[in-house]
């Protein structure tokens, strides 16, 4: 939740932003009660400041970790790790190289070798079913996989590649594991 608020404000060069409770419910997948409780608790801890509260939602000012009183940011690495969470890896093409490096210059699904000119950015969880543009959901794909995958779940898509002999059984299991590591943020792109 904090990352989401940070991404919409300070990382996007906005001092503050009006967040609707219903919109926050759907992006964070939390209940309305939990959203309100989390906002209240972050306000109490000093991570955010509620500037105004009205019918349309909360006008919130978000503080960077370095500005939060009493919070010690341990290392440069922690700051980088935090900042990367709010970056739009889909719209901001300058991160393409770091994604290519993370995915070893291969299509994340079929393992075909690709280059910056011959690849597309793919939403692992399709946008149509709520996939976002953060690094955990954006991967390097070849044109064929990108257009064939559509709204299919990544796991079902790579299973279809295995059934069609595009991936071996071993490659299928490796891909499954790799995609899980990407979507859970275990493997991160280096900026």
Q: How far is the CB of 112 from Zn ion (least distance, A)?
A: 5
The DSSP bridge partners found for residue 122 are 139
Residue 154 touches Zn ion, criterion: CB under 5 A: no
Angle between helices 21-28 and 32-45 (to 10 degrees): 100
| Contacting residue, 1, 42, 142, 158, with Zn ion by CB under 5 A | 142
| Chain residues 64-123 in contact with Zn ion, contact rule CB under 5 A | 107, 109-110, 112
| CB-nearer residue toward Zn ion: 7 or 119 | 119
Q: Answer left, alpha or beta for residue 54, where phi above 0 means left and psi between -120 and 50 means alpha.
A: beta
| CB-nearer residue toward Zn ion: 134 or 157 | 157
Largest CA distance in the chain: 58
- How many residues bind Zn ion, per CB under 5 A? 6
Instruction: Output Rg (C-alpha) for the chain, integer angstroms.
Output: 19
Q: Which are the contacts of 28, defined by CB distance < 8 A and separation ≥ 6? A: 1, 4, 35, 38
Q: How far is the CB of 60 from Zn ion (least distance, A)?
A: 41
> Residue 29 corresponds to which tokens in the numbers above?
């997948």
Q: How far is the CB of 149 from Zn ion (least distance, A)?
A: 9
| Chain residues 12-71 in contact with Zn ion, contact rule CB under 5 A | none
Q: How far is the CB of 143 from Zn ion (least distance, A)?
A: 8
Residues forming the site for Zn ion (CB under 5 A): 107, 109-110, 112, 142, 145
């Amino acid at each position: 939740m904090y990352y989401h608020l940070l991404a919409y404000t300070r990382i996007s060069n906005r001092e503050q932003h009006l967040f609707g409770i219903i919109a926050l419910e759907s992006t964070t997948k939390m209940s309305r009660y939990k959203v309100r409780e989390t906002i209240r608790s972050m306000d109490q801890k000093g991570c955010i400041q509620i500037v105004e509260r009205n019918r349309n939602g909360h006008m919130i000012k978000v503080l960077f970790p370095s500005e939060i009183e009493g919070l010690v940011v341990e290392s440069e690495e922690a700051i980088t790790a935090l900042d990367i969470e709010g970056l739009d890896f889909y719209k901001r093409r300058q991160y393409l190289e770091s994604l290519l490096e993370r995915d070893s210059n291969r299509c994340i699904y079929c393992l075909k070798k690709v280059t910056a000119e011959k690849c597309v950015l793919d939403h692992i969880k399709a946008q149509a079913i709520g996939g976002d543009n953060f690094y955990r959901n954006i991967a390097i794909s070849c044109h064929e996989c990108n257009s064939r995958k559509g709204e299919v779940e990544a796991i079902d898509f790579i299973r279809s590649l295995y059934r069609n002999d595009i991936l071996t059984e071993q490659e299928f299991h490796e891909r499954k594991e790799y995609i899980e590591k990407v979507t859970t943020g275990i493997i991160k792109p280096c900026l």
